[in-house]
Amino acid sequence: MERPALSVLINNYNYARFVGRAIDSVLSQDARNVEIIVVDDGSTDQSRSVLQAYDSRVKVIFQENAGQAAAMNTAVGSSTGEILCFLDADDWWVPGKLSATAAAFRANPQASLVYHRLQPTLVDGTPTSKPIPRTLCSGALSSLLARSAGWWPFPMTSAVAVRRSAWDAAGSIPLDFRISADAWLVGIYPFLGDVIAMPDPLGFYRIHNNNWYRAAEDAATLRRRMTHWQQTVEATNLFLSTHELPARLHLRDHYPYRVASAKLQGADALTRFKLAIEGLFFAGEPNLLRRTRDSLRSARGLSRLGLDVGLPEVAK
């Protein structure tokens, strides 16, 4: 039997109401020689019955809950394709996504990662806001990441595809990435080869309270993000050191981390001014107009009274 050219790897946890649409969007693709693997990470809803209804069209693996990284590692370990395409169970793709991805890899033999934009939607699938990420980055990005503590206008999981040879070089995703395991893919793979961005929104990103997105930032969300960013920098530096790559990341260069810290602690006028200037030179946003807008908006959004003020120590 011919080896699949493309492996579609879906991770699912308690998304019985969404995962069918994700799978159907893959089955409707025009690309040939595709395998579909779904790893259910210990769901307690009706996911099992939904997944078993697909019979032999989809390879389904059930495992005890171990987090997103473990689910994605299991999926890759059970796959055989040369191109690994990731899809979260609450998202879905447009027709032609897989063929466009395969063509991008063929045209760019040095590429380790190919991605595209996603169209954000509400829970019911209604499109909302503009496709993300707004800024697209292609080519050799390692120097950019080294100057921005690994931050760039990165794509979400369902927009990411990687070459198997790059996966083999990077190794499995560390299990510490129980959520936002895509941070490993978009943070490590630019150090292993070129990144190729496709401008069209070839998929849909469903916004709801069970994922990383929050309409309003509170102290708990900011602290969770800061911890995640810090752990990602540490994991990246460990990878770079282990693989004898010269770059190192420094958290002081991570502008979103510094802004989040100021939101928690509070910022006087001088701090707001310094952060606004710092944001103008932040390497993580290559687009000058967006960088200017974001830095000014971030500075204006800071308050002298931080979100942590008045919270009991146990909540901090």
Query: What pTM, to 2 d.p., does this model score?
Result: 0.92
- Per-residue pLDDT, averaged over 294-310, amounts to 85
Burial class from Cβ neighbours inside 10 Å (0-12, 13-18, 19+) for residue 138 reads middle
Tens digits of residue pLDDT in 165-222: 999 999 999 999 988 899 999 999 999 999 999 999 999 999 986 555 555 678 888 9
pLDDT of residue 305: 84
pLDDT of residue 143: 97
- The percentage of the chain sitting over the pLDDT mark of 70, rounded to a whole number, equals 94
pLDDT of residue 315: 40
Collect all residues with Cβ–Cβ distance below 8 Å to 139 and sequence separation of at least 6: 194, 195
Burial class from Cβ neighbours inside 10 Å (0-12, 13-18, 19+) for residue 312 reads exposed
DSSP assignment of 219-257 = HHHHHHHHHHHHHHHHHHHHHHHHTT-S----GGG-HHH
Considering the chain, what is the average pLDDT of its residues? 93
**Does 67 score more than 70 pLDDT?**
yes
Supply 33's token pair. Answer: 């020689």
Tens digits of residue pLDDT in 212-262: 555 567 888 899 899 999 999 999 999 999 999 999 999 999 999 999 999
Q: Which H helix or E strand runs over 217?
A: none
Residue entry with tokens 């699912």: 12
pLDDT of residue 316: 43
Cis peptide before 95 (omega within 30 of 0): no
Q: Which H helix or E strand runs over 194?
A: strand 194-206
Distance CA 224, CA 62 (A): 28
Distance CA 223, CA 146 (A): 23
Q: Where do runs of H (alpha helix) occur along the chain?
A: 16-27, 47-52, 68-77, 97-107, 142-147, 164-170, 182-188, 219-242, 255-265, 269-280, 288-300
